[in-house]
Homo-oligomer: A and B are copies of this chain.
Amino acid sequence: MPTYQAPTGDVLFLLNDVFHWERYANLPGFADASPDVVEAILVEGAKLADEILQPVNQSGDREGCTRHEDGSVTTPKGFKEAYKAYVEGGWIGISADPEYGGQGLPYTLAAILNEFHAGANMAFTMYPGLTQTAIAAINTHASAELKRLYLPKMIEGAWSGTMNLTEPHCGTDLGLLKTKAAPNGDGSYAITGQKIFISAGEQDLTENIVHLVLARIEGAPAGTRGISLFIVPKFIPDSNGKPGKRNAVSCGALEHKMGIHGNSTCVMNHDGAQGWLVGEANRGLNAMFVMMNEARLGVANQGLSQSEASYQNAVVYARERLQGRSLSGAKQPDKPADSLMVHPDIRRMLLEIRSFNEAARALMIYSTLKADVAHRAADEKERKEADEALSLLTPVMKGVFTDRGFDNAVKAQQVFGGHGYIGEWGMEQFVRDARIAMIYEGANGIQALDLVGRKLPKDAGKAVMNFFNEVGGYIKENEADEAMKPYLGSLKTGLGHLQQGTMWFMQNAMAKPDNAGAGSYDYMHMFGLVALGYMWAKIAKAALAKKAADASQAAAMDAKLIAGKFFMERVMPETAAHLVRISTGADTMMSMPADAF
Protein backbone atom coordinates (compact mmCIF):
# COMPACT_ATOMS: atom_id res chain seq x y z
CA MET A 1 0.00 0.00 0.00
CA PRO A 2 1.40 3.39 -0.92
CA THR A 3 1.94 6.03 1.74
CA TYR A 4 1.77 9.83 1.91
CA GLN A 5 2.57 12.53 4.38
CA ALA A 6 1.87 16.15 3.50
CA PRO A 7 5.14 18.15 3.54
CA THR A 8 4.08 20.55 6.29
CA GLY A 9 7.59 21.07 7.64
CA ASP A 10 9.00 22.10 4.29
CA VAL A 11 6.11 24.51 3.73
CA LEU A 12 6.61 26.17 7.11
CA PHE A 13 10.30 26.62 6.36
CA LEU A 14 9.46 28.18 2.99
CA LEU A 15 6.78 30.49 4.39
CA ASN A 16 8.73 31.67 7.39
CA ASP A 17 12.40 31.43 6.52
CA VAL A 18 12.48 31.85 2.77
CA PHE A 19 9.53 34.15 2.06
CA HIS A 20 9.22 35.94 5.40
CA TRP A 21 5.49 35.55 5.74
CA GLU A 22 5.34 38.22 8.42
CA ARG A 23 6.21 40.85 5.82
CA TYR A 24 2.80 40.37 4.20
CA ALA A 25 0.84 41.09 7.36
CA ASN A 26 -0.44 44.38 5.98
CA LEU A 27 -2.45 42.62 3.27
CA PRO A 28 -6.12 41.91 4.04
CA GLY A 29 -6.54 38.35 5.27
CA PHE A 30 -2.90 37.94 6.25
CA ALA A 31 -3.42 39.56 9.61
CA ASP A 32 -5.72 36.66 10.50
CA ALA A 33 -3.04 34.26 9.36
CA SER A 34 -0.23 34.70 11.84
CA PRO A 35 2.50 32.05 11.66
CA ASP A 36 0.94 29.97 14.44
CA VAL A 37 -2.51 30.12 12.85
CA VAL A 38 -0.96 29.12 9.54
CA GLU A 39 0.77 26.21 11.18
CA ALA A 40 -2.45 25.06 12.81
CA ILE A 41 -4.30 25.26 9.49
CA LEU A 42 -1.58 23.35 7.65
CA VAL A 43 -1.46 20.64 10.30
CA GLU A 44 -5.24 20.19 10.04
CA GLY A 45 -5.10 20.20 6.26
CA ALA A 46 -2.30 17.65 6.32
CA LYS A 47 -4.34 15.45 8.62
CA LEU A 48 -7.22 15.46 6.17
CA ALA A 49 -4.80 14.56 3.38
CA ASP A 50 -2.98 11.78 5.23
CA GLU A 51 -5.88 10.22 7.11
CA ILE A 52 -8.98 10.76 4.99
CA LEU A 53 -8.04 11.37 1.36
CA GLN A 54 -5.00 9.14 0.86
CA PRO A 55 -6.66 5.96 2.14
CA VAL A 56 -9.24 6.10 -0.67
CA ASN A 57 -6.80 6.99 -3.44
CA GLN A 58 -5.84 3.52 -4.58
CA SER A 59 -9.29 2.03 -4.03
CA GLY A 60 -10.80 4.95 -5.93
CA ASP A 61 -8.50 4.24 -8.87
CA ARG A 62 -9.47 0.59 -8.95
CA GLU A 63 -13.18 1.12 -8.61
CA GLY A 64 -13.54 4.25 -10.73
CA CYS A 65 -16.82 6.04 -11.31
CA THR A 66 -20.01 4.41 -12.52
CA ARG A 67 -22.66 5.96 -14.71
CA HIS A 68 -26.16 4.58 -14.35
CA GLU A 69 -28.85 4.38 -16.97
CA ASP A 70 -30.55 7.54 -15.76
CA GLY A 71 -27.33 9.49 -16.28
CA SER A 72 -26.46 9.67 -12.59
CA VAL A 73 -22.89 8.93 -11.56
CA THR A 74 -21.60 7.17 -8.46
CA THR A 75 -18.13 8.09 -7.22
CA PRO A 76 -15.89 5.41 -5.67
CA LYS A 77 -16.53 4.05 -2.22
CA GLY A 78 -15.37 6.42 0.50
CA PHE A 79 -15.45 9.56 -1.65
CA LYS A 80 -18.74 10.73 -0.14
CA GLU A 81 -17.36 10.48 3.38
CA ALA A 82 -14.13 12.16 2.29
CA TYR A 83 -16.10 14.96 0.68
CA LYS A 84 -18.15 15.41 3.84
CA ALA A 85 -14.95 15.79 5.86
CA TYR A 86 -13.59 18.21 3.30
CA VAL A 87 -16.70 20.36 3.49
CA GLU A 88 -16.89 20.23 7.27
CA GLY A 89 -13.31 21.44 7.50
CA GLY A 90 -14.31 24.51 5.49
CA TRP A 91 -11.50 23.87 3.02
CA ILE A 92 -13.31 24.91 -0.14
CA GLY A 93 -13.86 28.49 0.92
CA ILE A 94 -10.58 28.97 2.72
CA SER A 95 -9.52 31.91 0.57
CA ALA A 96 -12.94 32.85 -0.78
CA ASP A 97 -14.70 36.16 -0.30
CA PRO A 98 -16.01 36.54 3.30
CA GLU A 99 -19.02 38.41 1.88
CA TYR A 100 -20.30 35.07 0.61
CA GLY A 101 -19.16 32.92 3.50
CA GLY A 102 -15.51 32.44 2.58
CA GLN A 103 -12.75 32.68 5.15
CA GLY A 104 -10.81 35.26 3.16
CA LEU A 105 -7.47 33.75 4.07
CA PRO A 106 -4.52 34.14 1.67
CA TYR A 107 -4.80 32.32 -1.66
CA THR A 108 -1.28 31.10 -0.98
CA LEU A 109 -2.65 28.90 1.79
CA ALA A 110 -5.36 27.50 -0.45
CA ALA A 111 -2.73 26.60 -3.05
CA ILE A 112 -0.51 24.90 -0.48
CA LEU A 113 -3.43 22.87 0.78
CA ASN A 114 -4.26 21.90 -2.78
CA GLU A 115 -0.80 20.39 -3.11
CA PHE A 116 -1.35 18.43 0.11
CA HIS A 117 -4.75 17.19 -0.93
CA ALA A 118 -3.82 16.38 -4.52
CA GLY A 119 -0.74 14.55 -3.26
CA ALA A 120 -3.01 12.39 -1.15
CA ASN A 121 -5.69 11.91 -3.79
CA MET A 122 -5.53 13.78 -7.07
CA ALA A 123 -8.76 12.42 -8.54
CA PHE A 124 -10.75 13.34 -5.44
CA THR A 125 -9.24 16.80 -5.01
CA MET A 126 -10.38 17.76 -8.50
CA TYR A 127 -14.00 17.89 -7.26
CA PRO A 128 -13.51 20.69 -4.70
CA GLY A 129 -10.66 22.16 -6.78
CA LEU A 130 -12.93 22.81 -9.74
CA THR A 131 -15.46 24.38 -7.42
CA GLN A 132 -12.79 26.75 -6.15
CA THR A 133 -11.88 27.90 -9.64
CA ALA A 134 -15.55 28.28 -10.59
CA ILE A 135 -16.03 30.42 -7.49
CA ALA A 136 -13.20 32.67 -8.66
CA ALA A 137 -14.72 33.12 -12.12
CA ILE A 138 -18.21 33.86 -10.78
CA ASN A 139 -16.86 36.23 -8.16
CA THR A 140 -14.92 38.19 -10.75
CA HIS A 141 -17.42 38.37 -13.58
CA ALA A 142 -20.98 37.51 -12.59
CA SER A 143 -23.72 39.91 -11.59
CA ALA A 144 -24.45 40.63 -7.94
CA GLU A 145 -27.62 38.58 -8.23
CA LEU A 146 -25.86 35.50 -9.57
CA LYS A 147 -23.13 35.85 -6.96
CA ARG A 148 -25.67 36.05 -4.18
CA LEU A 149 -27.48 33.01 -5.51
CA TYR A 150 -24.53 30.74 -6.24
CA LEU A 151 -21.45 31.70 -4.25
CA PRO A 152 -22.58 30.88 -0.69
CA LYS A 153 -23.68 27.37 -1.67
CA MET A 154 -20.50 26.73 -3.61
CA ILE A 155 -18.26 28.14 -0.89
CA GLU A 156 -19.84 25.91 1.71
CA GLY A 157 -19.45 22.94 -0.65
CA ALA A 158 -23.14 22.11 -0.95
CA TRP A 159 -22.88 22.81 -4.69
CA SER A 160 -19.91 22.07 -6.91
CA GLY A 161 -18.56 23.78 -10.01
CA THR A 162 -17.30 22.58 -13.40
CA MET A 163 -15.86 24.01 -16.62
CA ASN A 164 -17.65 23.09 -19.87
CA LEU A 165 -15.29 24.17 -22.66
CA THR A 166 -14.16 21.34 -24.91
CA GLU A 167 -16.26 19.95 -27.74
CA PRO A 168 -15.50 16.93 -29.91
CA HIS A 169 -14.01 19.04 -32.70
CA CYS A 170 -12.36 21.70 -30.55
CA GLY A 171 -10.19 21.82 -27.50
CA THR A 172 -7.35 24.28 -27.90
CA ASP A 173 -9.11 26.19 -30.64
CA LEU A 174 -12.23 27.36 -28.84
CA GLY A 175 -13.09 29.66 -31.72
CA LEU A 176 -14.56 26.59 -33.42
CA LEU A 177 -17.11 25.90 -30.72
CA LYS A 178 -20.66 25.18 -31.79
CA THR A 179 -22.73 25.06 -28.60
CA LYS A 180 -25.57 27.54 -29.02
CA ALA A 181 -27.34 29.90 -26.67
CA ALA A 182 -30.80 31.16 -27.61
CA PRO A 183 -32.43 33.95 -25.56
CA ASN A 184 -35.47 32.71 -23.64
CA GLY A 185 -36.89 36.23 -23.37
CA ASP A 186 -36.73 36.23 -19.57
CA GLY A 187 -33.04 37.10 -19.41
CA SER A 188 -31.98 33.45 -19.45
CA TYR A 189 -30.77 31.43 -22.43
CA ALA A 190 -31.43 27.96 -23.81
CA ILE A 191 -28.07 26.20 -24.21
CA THR A 192 -27.73 23.39 -26.73
CA GLY A 193 -24.64 21.37 -27.60
CA GLN A 194 -22.30 18.63 -26.55
CA LYS A 195 -19.27 19.12 -24.30
CA ILE A 196 -16.62 16.46 -23.75
CA PHE A 197 -13.88 15.75 -21.20
CA ILE A 198 -15.86 17.49 -18.45
CA SER A 199 -14.10 16.67 -15.18
CA ALA A 200 -16.50 16.18 -12.28
CA GLY A 201 -19.37 16.76 -14.72
CA GLU A 202 -21.71 14.54 -12.73
CA GLN A 203 -21.30 12.98 -9.28
CA ASP A 204 -23.09 12.02 -6.10
CA LEU A 205 -21.22 14.32 -3.72
CA THR A 206 -23.22 17.55 -3.86
CA GLU A 207 -26.90 18.51 -4.02
CA ASN A 208 -26.31 20.65 -7.09
CA ILE A 209 -23.69 21.12 -9.83
CA VAL A 210 -22.96 24.52 -11.34
CA HIS A 211 -21.64 24.20 -14.87
CA LEU A 212 -19.80 27.14 -16.37
CA VAL A 213 -20.45 26.71 -20.07
CA LEU A 214 -19.00 28.42 -23.11
CA ALA A 215 -21.56 28.90 -25.89
CA ARG A 216 -22.32 31.16 -28.82
CA ILE A 217 -25.35 33.41 -28.62
CA GLU A 218 -27.45 33.28 -31.79
CA GLY A 219 -26.14 35.81 -34.26
CA ALA A 220 -22.84 36.29 -32.44
CA PRO A 221 -19.67 36.65 -34.54
CA ALA A 222 -17.76 33.52 -35.55
CA GLY A 223 -14.47 32.72 -33.83
CA THR A 224 -13.40 33.57 -30.30
CA ARG A 225 -15.10 36.97 -30.33
CA GLY A 226 -18.55 35.45 -30.33
CA ILE A 227 -18.27 33.26 -27.27
CA SER A 228 -20.15 33.88 -24.05
CA LEU A 229 -20.01 32.28 -20.63
CA PHE A 230 -23.08 30.89 -18.90
CA ILE A 231 -24.01 29.41 -15.58
CA VAL A 232 -25.99 26.21 -16.17
CA PRO A 233 -27.06 24.61 -12.89
CA LYS A 234 -28.03 20.96 -12.75
CA PHE A 235 -31.04 21.93 -10.64
CA ILE A 236 -32.42 25.42 -11.13
CA PRO A 237 -32.39 27.25 -7.78
CA ASP A 238 -35.29 29.41 -6.66
CA SER A 239 -34.47 32.89 -5.44
CA ASN A 240 -33.71 31.54 -1.97
CA GLY A 241 -31.14 29.14 -3.38
CA LYS A 242 -33.26 26.04 -3.02
CA PRO A 243 -32.52 23.66 -5.95
CA GLY A 244 -35.71 23.07 -7.90
CA LYS A 245 -36.43 21.88 -11.44
CA ARG A 246 -33.98 19.49 -13.05
CA ASN A 247 -32.27 21.34 -15.90
CA ALA A 248 -31.75 19.82 -19.36
CA VAL A 249 -28.06 19.11 -18.87
CA SER A 250 -26.93 15.54 -18.34
CA CYS A 251 -24.03 13.17 -18.45
CA GLY A 252 -24.27 11.11 -21.63
CA ALA A 253 -21.25 8.92 -20.97
CA LEU A 254 -18.11 8.57 -18.89
CA GLU A 255 -14.77 8.54 -20.68
CA HIS A 256 -12.49 5.53 -20.19
CA LYS A 257 -9.23 7.13 -19.24
CA MET A 258 -5.62 6.23 -18.50
CA GLY A 259 -5.91 7.53 -14.95
CA ILE A 260 -7.71 9.81 -12.46
CA HIS A 261 -10.34 7.09 -12.42
CA GLY A 262 -11.84 8.46 -9.23
CA ASN A 263 -12.89 11.60 -11.05
CA SER A 264 -15.86 11.42 -13.39
CA THR A 265 -14.88 12.66 -16.83
CA CYS A 266 -18.17 13.22 -18.59
CA VAL A 267 -19.68 13.83 -21.96
CA MET A 268 -22.20 16.54 -21.05
CA ASN A 269 -25.25 17.03 -23.20
CA HIS A 270 -26.99 20.39 -23.07
CA ASP A 271 -30.44 20.00 -24.59
CA GLY A 272 -31.85 23.48 -24.35
CA ALA A 273 -30.62 23.75 -20.79
CA GLN A 274 -31.48 26.99 -19.05
CA GLY A 275 -28.41 29.17 -18.52
CA TRP A 276 -27.57 32.65 -17.27
CA LEU A 277 -24.98 34.90 -18.81
CA VAL A 278 -21.85 35.56 -16.75
CA GLY A 279 -20.28 38.91 -17.54
CA GLU A 280 -20.73 40.53 -20.95
CA ALA A 281 -22.04 38.77 -24.04
CA ASN A 282 -19.27 37.69 -26.43
CA ARG A 283 -16.66 38.24 -23.73
CA GLY A 284 -16.89 34.71 -22.39
CA LEU A 285 -13.30 33.73 -23.02
CA ASN A 286 -12.21 36.71 -21.01
CA ALA A 287 -14.31 35.55 -18.07
CA MET A 288 -13.24 31.96 -18.50
CA PHE A 289 -9.57 32.97 -18.40
CA VAL A 290 -9.91 33.91 -14.74
CA MET A 291 -10.95 30.36 -14.11
CA MET A 292 -8.34 28.91 -16.42
CA ASN A 293 -5.45 30.82 -14.94
CA GLU A 294 -6.32 29.69 -11.46
CA ALA A 295 -6.93 26.18 -12.77
CA ARG A 296 -3.50 26.23 -14.44
CA LEU A 297 -1.85 26.90 -11.11
CA GLY A 298 -3.94 24.06 -9.70
CA VAL A 299 -2.72 21.74 -12.42
CA ALA A 300 0.88 22.83 -11.85
CA ASN A 301 0.29 21.86 -8.24
CA GLN A 302 -0.94 18.46 -9.38
CA GLY A 303 2.36 17.88 -11.17
CA LEU A 304 4.26 18.76 -8.02
CA SER A 305 1.93 16.72 -5.85
CA GLN A 306 2.39 13.49 -7.80
CA SER A 307 6.13 14.06 -7.84
CA GLU A 308 6.12 14.47 -4.05
CA ALA A 309 3.87 11.47 -3.38
CA SER A 310 5.85 9.18 -5.64
CA TYR A 311 9.13 10.43 -4.15
CA GLN A 312 8.02 9.60 -0.62
CA ASN A 313 7.15 6.06 -1.62
CA ALA A 314 10.37 5.57 -3.56
CA VAL A 315 12.38 6.68 -0.53
CA VAL A 316 10.64 4.15 1.70
CA TYR A 317 11.25 1.41 -0.83
CA ALA A 318 14.89 2.37 -1.41
CA ARG A 319 15.55 2.26 2.32
CA GLU A 320 13.88 -1.09 2.90
CA ARG A 321 14.73 -3.04 -0.22
CA LEU A 322 18.00 -4.95 0.12
CA GLN A 323 19.54 -5.63 -3.27
CA GLY A 324 23.16 -5.75 -4.40
CA ARG A 325 26.19 -4.32 -2.69
CA SER A 326 27.67 -0.85 -2.63
CA LEU A 327 30.29 -0.29 -5.33
CA SER A 328 32.67 0.77 -2.58
CA GLY A 329 32.24 -2.37 -0.48
CA ALA A 330 29.39 -3.81 1.60
CA LYS A 331 27.67 -1.25 3.83
CA GLN A 332 25.37 -3.68 5.65
CA PRO A 333 27.61 -6.77 5.82
CA ASP A 334 25.33 -8.39 8.40
CA LYS A 335 22.46 -8.31 5.93
CA PRO A 336 22.12 -10.46 2.80
CA ALA A 337 22.52 -7.28 0.72
CA ASP A 338 22.80 -3.52 1.09
CA SER A 339 19.78 -1.27 0.80
CA LEU A 340 19.10 0.39 -2.55
CA MET A 341 20.24 3.65 -0.94
CA VAL A 342 23.90 2.70 -1.41
CA HIS A 343 23.63 2.83 -5.19
CA PRO A 344 24.56 6.14 -6.80
CA ASP A 345 22.08 5.71 -9.61
CA ILE A 346 19.21 5.27 -7.14
CA ARG A 347 20.33 8.44 -5.38
CA ARG A 348 20.54 10.20 -8.72
CA MET A 349 16.89 9.41 -9.38
CA LEU A 350 15.76 10.37 -5.88
CA LEU A 351 17.70 13.63 -5.92
CA GLU A 352 16.46 14.59 -9.35
CA ILE A 353 12.96 14.32 -7.92
CA ARG A 354 13.70 15.90 -4.55
CA SER A 355 15.63 18.81 -6.01
CA PHE A 356 12.62 19.59 -8.18
CA ASN A 357 10.01 19.19 -5.46
CA GLU A 358 11.42 21.66 -2.97
CA ALA A 359 12.18 24.33 -5.57
CA ALA A 360 8.80 23.86 -7.26
CA ARG A 361 7.01 24.21 -3.94
CA ALA A 362 8.97 27.40 -3.33
CA LEU A 363 8.08 28.74 -6.76
CA MET A 364 4.41 27.96 -6.19
CA ILE A 365 4.48 29.93 -2.94
CA TYR A 366 6.50 32.73 -4.55
CA SER A 367 3.86 32.96 -7.30
CA THR A 368 0.75 32.63 -5.19
CA LEU A 369 2.05 35.35 -2.91
CA LYS A 370 2.11 37.47 -6.07
CA ALA A 371 -1.53 36.47 -6.60
CA ASP A 372 -2.36 37.65 -3.11
CA VAL A 373 -0.55 40.92 -3.67
CA ALA A 374 -2.29 41.32 -7.03
CA HIS A 375 -5.69 40.95 -5.40
CA ARG A 376 -5.14 42.55 -2.03
CA ALA A 377 -2.42 45.20 -2.06
CA ALA A 378 -3.51 48.79 -1.52
CA ASP A 379 -1.20 50.22 -4.16
CA GLU A 380 -2.38 49.82 -7.74
CA LYS A 381 1.08 49.73 -9.25
CA GLU A 382 2.10 47.03 -6.83
CA ARG A 383 -1.02 45.05 -7.67
CA LYS A 384 -0.43 45.39 -11.39
CA GLU A 385 3.21 44.36 -11.23
CA ALA A 386 2.42 41.34 -9.12
CA ASP A 387 -0.34 40.34 -11.53
CA GLU A 388 2.02 40.61 -14.49
CA ALA A 389 4.69 38.57 -12.75
CA LEU A 390 2.11 35.89 -11.97
CA SER A 391 0.82 35.91 -15.55
CA LEU A 392 4.33 35.36 -16.81
CA LEU A 393 5.03 32.48 -14.44
CA THR A 394 1.67 30.70 -14.78
CA PRO A 395 2.35 28.97 -18.13
CA VAL A 396 5.91 28.20 -17.03
CA MET A 397 4.71 26.46 -13.89
CA LYS A 398 1.86 24.64 -15.62
CA GLY A 399 4.14 23.31 -18.35
CA VAL A 400 7.28 22.62 -16.35
CA PHE A 401 5.74 21.29 -13.14
CA THR A 402 3.54 18.84 -15.01
CA ASP A 403 6.26 17.66 -17.41
CA ARG A 404 8.75 17.20 -14.60
CA GLY A 405 6.10 15.90 -12.23
CA PHE A 406 5.26 13.13 -14.68
CA ASP A 407 8.93 12.36 -15.40
CA ASN A 408 9.54 12.19 -11.67
CA ALA A 409 6.67 9.80 -11.09
CA VAL A 410 8.18 7.62 -13.83
CA LYS A 411 11.59 7.81 -12.11
CA ALA A 412 10.14 6.96 -8.72
CA GLN A 413 8.37 4.01 -10.33
CA GLN A 414 11.73 2.94 -11.78
CA VAL A 415 13.25 2.78 -8.28
CA PHE A 416 10.79 -0.06 -7.57
CA GLY A 417 11.99 -2.22 -10.46
CA GLY A 418 9.36 -4.77 -11.47
CA HIS A 419 7.23 -3.93 -8.45
CA GLY A 420 6.77 -0.45 -9.89
CA TYR A 421 4.78 -1.92 -12.76
CA ILE A 422 2.39 -3.82 -10.51
CA GLY A 423 -0.82 -2.14 -9.39
CA GLU A 424 -0.69 -3.00 -5.71
CA TRP A 425 2.42 -0.87 -5.07
CA GLY A 426 0.63 2.22 -6.29
CA MET A 427 3.50 3.69 -8.29
CA GLU A 428 1.94 3.11 -11.68
CA GLN A 429 -1.15 5.00 -10.53
CA PHE A 430 0.95 8.08 -9.80
CA VAL A 431 2.29 7.86 -13.35
CA ARG A 432 -1.15 7.42 -14.91
CA ASP A 433 -2.69 10.18 -12.82
CA ALA A 434 0.19 12.59 -13.40
CA ARG A 435 -0.02 12.12 -17.17
CA ILE A 436 -3.25 14.10 -17.59
CA ALA A 437 -1.77 17.22 -16.02
CA MET A 438 0.47 17.69 -19.09
CA ILE A 439 -2.63 17.73 -21.27
CA TYR A 440 -5.58 19.49 -19.68
CA GLU A 441 -6.09 23.20 -18.97
CA GLY A 442 -4.12 23.83 -22.17
CA ALA A 443 -1.67 21.18 -23.36
CA ASN A 444 1.89 22.06 -22.42
CA GLY A 445 2.74 23.08 -25.97
CA ILE A 446 -0.01 25.69 -25.65
CA GLN A 447 1.49 26.92 -22.39
CA ALA A 448 4.78 27.40 -24.21
CA LEU A 449 3.07 29.39 -26.96
CA ASP A 450 1.21 31.46 -24.37
CA LEU A 451 4.56 32.25 -22.74
CA VAL A 452 6.44 33.12 -25.91
CA GLY A 453 3.64 34.60 -27.98
CA ARG A 454 1.65 36.48 -25.37
CA LYS A 455 3.40 36.89 -22.03
CA LEU A 456 6.90 37.65 -23.29
CA PRO A 457 6.09 40.53 -25.66
CA LYS A 458 3.43 42.09 -23.37
CA ASP A 459 4.18 45.75 -22.54
CA ALA A 460 7.45 45.53 -24.47
CA GLY A 461 8.65 42.67 -22.31
CA LYS A 462 8.25 44.51 -19.04
CA ALA A 463 7.39 41.48 -16.91
CA VAL A 464 10.22 39.36 -18.25
CA MET A 465 12.71 42.19 -17.81
CA ASN A 466 11.56 42.64 -14.22
CA PHE A 467 12.10 38.95 -13.63
CA PHE A 468 15.58 38.99 -15.17
CA ASN A 469 16.48 42.03 -13.10
CA GLU A 470 15.23 40.41 -9.93
CA VAL A 471 17.23 37.21 -10.49
CA GLY A 472 20.30 39.07 -11.73
CA GLY A 473 20.11 41.43 -8.79
CA TYR A 474 19.85 38.55 -6.36
CA ILE A 475 22.93 36.93 -7.83
CA LYS A 476 24.91 40.15 -7.66
CA GLU A 477 23.79 40.83 -4.12
CA ASN A 478 24.93 37.43 -2.89
CA GLU A 479 27.87 36.38 -5.01
CA ALA A 480 30.46 37.76 -2.64
CA ASP A 481 29.24 35.28 -0.04
CA GLU A 482 31.52 32.24 -0.26
CA ALA A 483 28.89 29.87 1.12
CA MET A 484 26.46 30.92 -1.61
CA LYS A 485 28.87 30.27 -4.50
CA PRO A 486 27.63 26.72 -5.24
CA TYR A 487 24.12 28.13 -5.62
CA LEU A 488 24.83 31.04 -7.92
CA GLY A 489 27.36 29.98 -10.56
CA SER A 490 25.23 27.82 -12.79
CA LEU A 491 22.18 29.97 -12.08
CA LYS A 492 24.09 32.90 -13.53
CA THR A 493 24.99 30.83 -16.59
CA GLY A 494 21.39 29.69 -16.90
CA LEU A 495 20.06 33.23 -16.63
CA GLY A 496 22.51 34.23 -19.35
CA HIS A 497 21.20 31.45 -21.61
CA LEU A 498 17.63 32.53 -20.94
CA GLN A 499 18.48 36.10 -21.84
CA GLN A 500 20.21 34.97 -25.01
CA GLY A 501 17.18 32.88 -25.93
CA THR A 502 14.91 35.87 -25.36
CA MET A 503 17.17 38.01 -27.52
CA TRP A 504 17.16 35.36 -30.24
CA PHE A 505 13.38 35.49 -30.39
CA MET A 506 13.42 39.27 -30.57
CA GLN A 507 15.82 39.14 -33.49
CA ASN A 508 14.42 36.14 -35.34
CA ALA A 509 10.78 35.61 -34.51
CA MET A 510 9.21 38.96 -35.31
CA ALA A 511 9.48 38.49 -39.05
CA LYS A 512 9.14 34.73 -38.86
CA PRO A 513 6.79 33.62 -36.11
CA ASP A 514 7.47 29.93 -36.77
CA ASN A 515 10.86 30.55 -35.16
CA ALA A 516 9.04 31.37 -31.95
CA GLY A 517 6.86 28.30 -32.23
CA ALA A 518 9.84 26.06 -32.91
CA GLY A 519 11.70 27.22 -29.80
CA SER A 520 8.78 27.84 -27.48
CA TYR A 521 8.87 24.50 -25.67
CA ASP A 522 12.57 24.73 -24.98
CA TYR A 523 12.16 28.31 -23.88
CA MET A 524 9.44 27.35 -21.40
CA HIS A 525 11.66 24.68 -19.89
CA MET A 526 14.69 26.95 -19.82
CA PHE A 527 12.60 29.56 -18.05
CA GLY A 528 11.45 26.93 -15.58
CA LEU A 529 15.01 25.89 -14.83
CA VAL A 530 16.07 29.45 -14.12
CA ALA A 531 13.03 30.08 -11.93
CA LEU A 532 13.64 26.85 -10.00
CA GLY A 533 17.33 27.65 -9.72
CA TYR A 534 16.47 31.09 -8.37
CA MET A 535 14.30 29.40 -5.74
CA TRP A 536 17.20 27.12 -4.80
CA ALA A 537 19.43 30.14 -4.29
CA LYS A 538 16.83 31.64 -1.96
CA ILE A 539 16.36 28.33 -0.13
CA ALA A 540 20.11 27.90 0.28
CA LYS A 541 20.46 31.36 1.73
CA ALA A 542 17.69 30.73 4.24
CA ALA A 543 19.06 27.29 5.08
CA LEU A 544 22.55 28.66 5.72
CA ALA A 545 21.12 31.31 8.00
CA LYS A 546 18.91 28.88 9.88
CA LYS A 547 21.72 26.40 10.33
CA ALA A 548 23.96 29.14 11.73
CA ALA A 549 21.25 30.32 14.09
CA ASP A 550 20.06 26.96 15.34
CA ALA A 551 22.33 23.92 15.53
CA SER A 552 19.35 21.61 16.05
CA GLN A 553 18.32 22.40 12.47
CA ALA A 554 21.70 21.60 10.94
CA ALA A 555 20.85 18.13 9.63
CA ALA A 556 17.57 19.23 8.05
CA MET A 557 19.20 22.29 6.51
CA ASP A 558 22.17 20.28 5.23
CA ALA A 559 19.78 18.01 3.38
CA LYS A 560 18.36 21.05 1.62
CA LEU A 561 21.82 22.39 0.84
CA ILE A 562 22.82 19.06 -0.71
CA ALA A 563 19.65 18.82 -2.79
CA GLY A 564 20.20 22.38 -3.99
CA LYS A 565 23.80 21.71 -4.90
CA PHE A 566 22.70 18.64 -6.82
CA PHE A 567 20.23 20.78 -8.76
CA MET A 568 22.86 23.35 -9.61
CA GLU A 569 25.43 20.75 -10.66
CA ARG A 570 23.22 18.39 -12.62
CA VAL A 571 19.90 19.93 -13.58
CA MET A 572 20.58 23.61 -14.19
CA PRO A 573 23.16 22.90 -16.95
CA GLU A 574 20.33 21.68 -19.21
CA THR A 575 19.75 25.31 -20.17
CA ALA A 576 22.64 25.02 -22.63
CA ALA A 577 20.90 22.39 -24.75
CA HIS A 578 17.67 24.38 -24.71
CA LEU A 579 19.49 27.44 -26.02
CA VAL A 580 21.13 25.43 -28.80
CA ARG A 581 17.75 24.10 -29.87
CA ILE A 582 16.07 27.50 -29.78
CA SER A 583 18.85 28.95 -31.91
CA THR A 584 18.38 26.38 -34.68
CA GLY A 585 14.99 27.89 -35.46
CA ALA A 586 12.17 26.47 -37.52
CA ASP A 587 13.74 25.96 -40.95
CA THR A 588 14.54 22.27 -40.73
CA MET A 589 11.25 21.22 -39.18
CA MET A 590 9.13 23.35 -41.49
CA SER A 591 10.95 22.05 -44.58
CA MET A 592 9.37 18.60 -44.22
CA PRO A 593 6.27 18.32 -46.43
CA ALA A 594 3.24 17.36 -44.32
CA ASP A 595 2.72 14.18 -46.32
CA ALA A 596 6.35 13.12 -45.84
CA PHE A 597 5.96 12.58 -42.09
Contacts and interface: CB of A to CB of B under 8 A. Distances in A.
Interface of A: 166, 169-173, 175-176, 196-197, 255-259, 315, 318-319, 322-324, 326-328, 336-337, 339, 341, 343-351, 354, 406, 410, 413-414, 417-418, 420-424, 428, 431-432, 435-436, 438-440, 443-445, 448-449, 453, 512-514, 516-518, 520-521, 555-556, 558-559, 562-563, 565-566, 569-570, 573-574, 576-577, 580-581, 584, 586, 588-597
A227 to B, nearest CB: 15
A344 to B, nearest CB: 3
Nearest to A575: B577
B173 A348 contact: no
A392 to B, nearest CB: 19
B256 A422 contact: yes
B440 A559 contact: no
Contact of A573 (B337, B520, B581): B581
Given A171-B417, A257-B423, 18 more contacts: A166-B418, A171-B418, A172-B324, A196-B418, A258-B428, A344-B514, A349-B445, A351-B588, A410-B435, A414-B439, A417-B443, A421-B439, A432-B432, A559-B596, A559-B597, A566-B588, A569-B581, A576-B577
16 contacts: A172-B417, A173-B323, A176-B336, A319-B597, A341-B594, A343-B445, A344-B517, A344-B520, A347-B518, A347-B592, A351-B589, A417-B443, A556-B596, A559-B593, A563-B592, A574-B577
A584 B570 contact: yes
A524 to B, nearest CB: 10
Q: How many copies does the complex hold?
A: 2
A420 B445 contact: no
A597 B318 contact: yes
A265 to B, nearest CB: 8
Nearest to A327: B513
Contacts of A594: 319, 339, 341
Contacts of A339: 594
A573 B555 CA distance: 38
Given A345-B449, A414-B444, A574-B577, A423 B518 contact: no
Contacts of A449: 345
A306 to B, nearest CB: 15
A597 B518 contact: no
A565 B588 contact: yes
A196 B419 CA distance: 10
Contacts of A176: 322-323, 336-337
Contacts of A589: 344, 347-348, 351, 566
A586 B439 CA distance: 36
B173 A337 contact: yes
Closest 10 CB pairs of A and B: A344-B517, A327-B513, A258-B428, A344-B518, A559-B596, A256-B423, A341-B594, A345-B445, A347-B589, A569-B584
Nearest to A311: B597
A514 B327 contact: yes
A435 to B, nearest CB: 7
Nearest to A416: B439
